[in-house]
Structure 1
């Protein structure tokens, strides 16, 4: 079928289309960042740096997958394997994405437009693959699972934006260009340690009661990964450009070791 990039999923367009589940994370190899939600902040903080990005909807936490411009992320191997300890929720439903509509259901759950990347190579005309819709025009069971997951994530995004709004209302966000001498991607924000020290008791309680303090702590802890992410880039740059790292290369082993250590230190004791 036509390769048109990201388009809305509709019966008129995809009624006779099929799709296959992705088997490689190569689609994420050149991603420098990935939006995360509050519910995954702990796992994300154990894996990569978390900064904040200002969008039209407000501030949102973002996992940094590459600290150098135009460099592929070290978290994806040449074979397309994800090497980090945690896979962000935003990457789990490729080639599908959810775009907010700004409207809500009667129960206040956010509505979203389901989109699909037609240039992903995962769409087909083969009935042996997963159908978009069944014979009655209803969403197929497989695609319904995707929609349920993305609906839950859309609700989590709304809750995360609300927490970031609280942090912003207290004047805690500030531009961050580097950490411990490591340059960071442009136009990102961190939480001001100095401003945290000046908060009143009432303001501190507001952060604690809302859960926003947990998000702040996740951000602060995650910054410790900036150094080794930068070193991972350096190791990649030292290799032969024609020989990207494989599953058995030094950089791959380095990331596996880091992932295992993070699993033990951060995730193992929490039953995740």
Structure 2
């Protein structure tokens, strides 16, 4: 899982370089930028709400075969195939009631380098310009209310990310994570596999000692574990959405094939 996903041209936000930069708001939000992202990282605080609408899992970061301890990120599954998000329509509309914070923070992001945090933007975001929309900086070079709200949101996301890693560290310590084995067979014969994703092993969870379960409760983790497990019930919805995308694509594909086979007009 790439940590920056749909960010194309990340640049540090600078009050001199970007003093005239404005953010134009559309009448209807367009999430087309996330249409080719099949999973995003989520924060621990989002898990109870996200589990109502999405499948959640733990994504392996880097190469699982590489030396060193395997690292994971808590993730929301948005599609079964590479470069496909089944929650974003052709019009760029997000079709689920809750939109993950990772998506909502775009086009802003915090870059971390040796414990130094820098607010950045995706310079290629089409709604950035120097003529229309709300400014990011005041004439005095201070963040406007718009920019400050986004900075506060980024900082909260960053704090939640740390709490999420503590949660994952506890799951690893208890050896509760196992590789997902969910597959889907398409009519075309293509088999899809949830590669690189891990789930909590419910059998191992039930085998924990009373003291270990009590510790999970004290840390506030037990309810979150069950939120993740309940989210797996959304797998059928994920498959239904994918089937809907495939069915919607068929007429276009048929039309294109017909054009190729049609005889030339004289």
2:82 counterpart (66, 69, 83): 69
Asked whether the 8 Å contact 1:167–1:212 carries over to 2, the reply is no
- CA distance in 2 between counterparts of 1:240 and 1:36 reads 29
Q: 2:200 matched to 1:191?
A: yes
Q: 2:141 matched to 1:137?
A: yes
1:49 counterpart (25, 30, 55): 55
Asked whether the 8 Å contact 2:107–2:125 carries over to 1, the reply is yes
Residues matched between the structures, number: 233
- CA distance in 1 between counterparts of 2:193 and 2:51 reads 16
Q: Tell me the equivalent position of 1:209.
A: 218
Q: Tell me the equivalent position of 1:122.
A: 127
Q: Which runs of 5+ in 1 are unaligned?
A: 104-110, 245-272
The runs of at least 4 aligned residues of structure 1 exceeding 6 Å deviation read 179-182
SS of 1:12's equivalent in the other structure is coil
Q: Tell me the equivalent position of 2:239.
A: 230
Deviation at 1:98, TM superposition (A): 2.2
Backbone CA RMSD of aligned residues:
2.5
- CA distance in 2 between counterparts of 1:192 and 1:240 reads 36
1:113 counterpart (109, 118, 128): 118
Deviation at 1:117, TM superposition (A): 0.9
Deviation at 1:230, TM superposition (A): 1.4
Taking structure 2 as the reference length, the TM-score comes to 0.79
Asked whether the 8 Å contact 1:112–1:151 carries over to 2, the reply is no
Deviation at 1:241, TM superposition (A): 4.9
- CA distance in 2 between counterparts of 1:25 and 1:180 reads 26
- CA distance in 1 between counterparts of 2:8 and 2:176 reads 41
- CA distance in 2 between counterparts of 1:5 and 1:188 reads 28
Taking structure 1 as the reference length, the TM-score comes to 0.77
Larger Rg: 2
Q: 2:46 matched to 1:34?
A: no
More helix by share: 1
- Which moves more between the two structures, 176-185 or 22-31? 176-185
Asked whether the 8 Å contact 1:96–1:115 carries over to 2, the reply is yes
- Which moves more between the two structures, 91-100 or 54-63? 54-63
Asked whether the 8 Å contact 1:95–1:122 carries over to 2, the reply is no
SS of 1:59's equivalent in the other structure is strand
Q: Tell me the equivalent position of 1:87.
A: 99
